[in-house]
Amino acid sequence: MAKRLIVGNWKMNPSTLAEASKIARKTRRISGTLKQTEVVACPPFVFIPACISKRSPGILRVGAQTASPEEGGGPHTGEVGAEMLRDIGVEYVIVGHSEMRAKGDTDAVISRRIKAVTQAGLHAILCVGETTRDENGSYLDVLGAQIKGSLADLGEKSAKNIIIAYEPVWAIGGTEAMAPEQIREMSIFVKKVFAEVFGQEAAMKVKVLYGGSVHFRNAADIITIGQVDGLLVGRESVNLPGFSALLKAVDAIA
């Protein structure tokens, strides 16, 4: 069976380089003891080099929280390109997080970011999720359109480098995750839409993660009952005791 993928989205944390190095070092130590779990840490850009171990890069993989939609350098003040990230050892890039969408990232820009990321040979973790739920189910239409819009204009070759993180926006930064039974339904829906874009075979292989108020107590149920391939973890990923317990709980799933 494929390893479960646990991605830590550190967001704009921690506030010092010393703390970032410590979180990475301790997370790497725990990751080295896991048998069936792959761990990715996504620190802010400036801390990335300090979080990559030259001696054992495979134990804790490192991701970025976004990447420029522009390819090949140029006059793009403030941007960081996917090729630069690859050059320093980054393997994953989160794309289309709801906090980026709220600041103006459209599906069209997100699709260009994914293109730049996958063309650089990195894995894009595409975040999707509805902002609210209504009783007549139109959130499914919203979500379907968001997935298709974010994957528009991408060649079939990109599909193998895309991971989908389903994150209902109302569950992010909250106290309660979505119920695992509902997560299972949503994961099936996400795969169905992915199949409409890239075909059935690609959809069988795509990894679907869940994110939104995941912590060490609910992580294992979300994976087993929710039938997802892994988790995208925000706050708990920079809380060392909690993240360590979460990783152990996930690795202990039969």
Q: Is 167 a catalytic residue?
A: yes
- The three-state DSSP-derived secondary structure of the chain is CCCEEEEEECCCCCCCHHHHHHHHHHHHHHHCCCCCEEEEEECCHHHHHHHCCCCCCCCCEEEECCCCCCCCCCCCCCCCCHHHHHHCCCCEEEECCHHHHCCCCCHHHHHHHHHHHHHCCCEEEEEECCCCCCCCCHHHHHHHHHHHHHCCCCCHHHHHHEEEEECCHHHCCCCCCCCHHHHHHHHHHHHHHHHHHHCHHHHHHCEEEEECCCCCCCHHHHHHCCCCCEEEECHHHHCHHHHHHHHHHHHCCC
Q: Is 99 a catalytic residue?
A: no
Q: Of 53 and 248, which CB lies nearer to ligand PGA in the complex structure?
A: 248
Smallest gap from Cβ 191 to ligand PGA, in A, equals 20
Smallest gap from Cβ 88 to ligand PGA, in A, equals 23
Smallest gap from Cβ 212 to ligand PGA, in A, equals 5
Q: Of 147 and 198, which CB lies nearer to ligand PGA in the complex structure?
A: 147
Using CB under 6 A, list all residues that contact ligand PGA: 9, 167, 172-173, 211-214, 232-235
Q: Of 107 and 167, which CB lies nearer to ligand PGA in the complex structure?
A: 167
Q: Of 81 and 96, which CB lies nearer to ligand PGA in the complex structure?
A: 96
β-bridge pairing 37-42 and 4-9: parallel
Tokens of 137: 């189910």
Smallest gap from Cβ 98 to ligand PGA, in A, equals 7
Smallest gap from Cβ 129 to ligand PGA, in A, equals 9
User: Which residue out of 83, 130, 167, 236 is catalytically annotated?
Assistant: 167
Q: Of 5 and 232, which CB lies nearer to ligand PGA in the complex structure?
A: 232
User: Which residue out of 83, 97, 130, 236 is catalytically annotated?
Assistant: 97
Tokens of 143: 């979500």
- Check the CA dihedral 162-65-209-142 and report its sign: negative
Spatial separation of the C-alpha atoms in residues 185 and 177, rounded to whole Å: 14
Tell me the catalytic residues: 97, 167
